[in-house]
Amino acid sequence: MNHRLTRILLAAVIAGGTCLAQTDQPTGASRPLAEIKEDFKPSTLNQPGQQHPQVNSQGYARFRIVAPEAQSVRVSLGGRERGGFSLDKGEDGVWTGVTQKPLDEGFHYYHLAVDGGTFNDPGTLNFYGSTRWESGIEIPAHDQDFYALKDVPHGRVQQILFPSRSTNTSRRAFVYTPPDYDKDLTKRFPVLYLQHGWGEDETAWSNQGRANLIMDNLIAEGKTKPFIIVMIYGMTNEIRFGGLRNFDIGPFQTVLVDELIPYVDANFRTLSDQPHRAMAGLSMGGMETKSITLKNLDKFSHIGLFSGGSISLDDVNNTPDFKEKVELVFVSYGSRELDGGRRGFGGDPKTNADELKQVGINSVFYVSPDTAHEFQSWRRSLHEFAQLLFNEGISQT
């Protein structure tokens, strides 16, 4: 433990009242200083050449911001560090600080408050969340191998611009094609439509979610059938959670079902029948998935809701031909969401999943260990979900 870190920790105790009041861990004052290991390394999401922020082997994050004339610099993190904490100004005019406790494994959004203004950490890459490009930090995870960039054949993430008459624009979407897509030009592939959450956009599943690397690795291990993934902006960000009840799925459903799907089927080598089309989404994207798939079971056979509600027996009974048409209902949550009493919308998700199974529906419930309403839950959810998709023995010529 060097003197600088001691100073930081003491300062955090002095300045961090608001934060400490919101946590359930020992405060810095009562925490043995020696417990924080001095093995910090730059976060893997830093900009080229940037040494900060850093993360240690326990998941503590250290921030370093140069702003010599500033009056205050705070780090605003979601998840377990909610409320954020103040950095401490050193004699060199540099602001530094360490999180009050280890962060959960995986990806976290954050930003800075510098003298009352909201800015990003110049050390990190940016990721679209909370309806703004945010700073991102990556905490190494025990299971990070499944989304690591490895020396395996890689698929492509393609930006497409397709005509959307209903919104009078060329809309952007991203399409993941598996590694062998361009090897055998006679082969066609199933498609998963994969939605981001509120505050995010069509870049989230590749950037934060690493969907392409998850797929590349699963395919290399033979654990999933190769399929195409389509990611598009869910048009959800104009509303706030308070206005959710007034959210009209109609305009997005028109873009997705009437414009994007026909474009993808016309421009990619898809298997375009209902048994080979899935939809999934995280958080609000899960709600969109439920809403759109239940109204369009002639188009979708596999449904995934990641931290975004569940499907109840009532839903099944109120949806004609549900049992005949739906091949898979996958529902997942981060364990900390369930610990915190979060159940999404429409009843307890585990109870709902069990009831669906009891009436013969292929219903899978997955809990991501020790993660919250954050991307690590959703990376793991996609990893589980992908292995269950399009496994009905239908020929994929």
- Residues forming the site for its own copies (CB under 8 A): 47-49, 65-72, 93, 112, 114-120, 122, 125-126, 131-133, 149-151, 154, 156-163, 170, 175, 182, 185, 201, 206, 212, 216, 237, 267-268
Min dist CB 227 to its own copies, Å, is 17
Coil, strand or helix at 225: coil
For residue 98, the cross-strand partners are: 62
CB nearer to its own copies: pick between 4 and 156 = 156
Q: What is the DSSP letter of 267?
A: H
For residue 162, the cross-strand partners are: 171
CB nearer to its own copies: pick between 85 and 268 = 268
Q: Give whole-number Cα distances, 131 to 3, 31, 120, 346, 358, in Å.
A: 39, 36, 14, 26, 40
CB nearer to its own copies: pick between 187 and 225 = 187
Min dist CB 384 to its own copies, Å, is 24
Residue 394 to residue 150: CA distance in whole angstroms = 30
Contact between 88 and 94 under an 8 Å Cβ cutoff? The reply is: no
| The two three-digit tokens of residue 215, written as one number | 């797929």
In terms of Cα–Cα distance, which of 145, 126, 113, 163 is closest to 46? 126
Min dist CB 271 to its own copies, Å, is 16
Min dist CB 150 to its own copies, Å, is 8
| The two three-digit tokens of residue 91, written as one number | 């004699």
CB nearer to its own copies: pick between 109 and 322 = 109
| The two three-digit tokens of residue 387, written as one number | 């292995």
Segments in 223-334 forming alpha helices (H): 250-253, 261-267, 284-295, 313-317, 322-325
| The two three-digit tokens of residue 218, written as one number | 């699963």
CB nearer to its own copies: pick between 13 and 157 = 157
Residue 365 to residue 304: CA distance in whole angstroms = 10
Min dist CB 145 to its own copies, Å, is 15
Contact between 133 and 126 under an 8 Å Cβ cutoff? The reply is: yes
CB nearer to its own copies: pick between 242 and 360 = 242
Min dist CB 25 to its own copies, Å, is 29
Min dist CB 73 to its own copies, Å, is 8
Give the count of alpha carbons within 13 A of 315, CB side only: 23
Contact between 297 and 326 under an 8 Å Cβ cutoff? The reply is: yes
Coil, strand or helix at 204: helix
CB nearer to its own copies: pick between 169 and 387 = 169
Min dist CB 121 to its own copies, Å, is 9
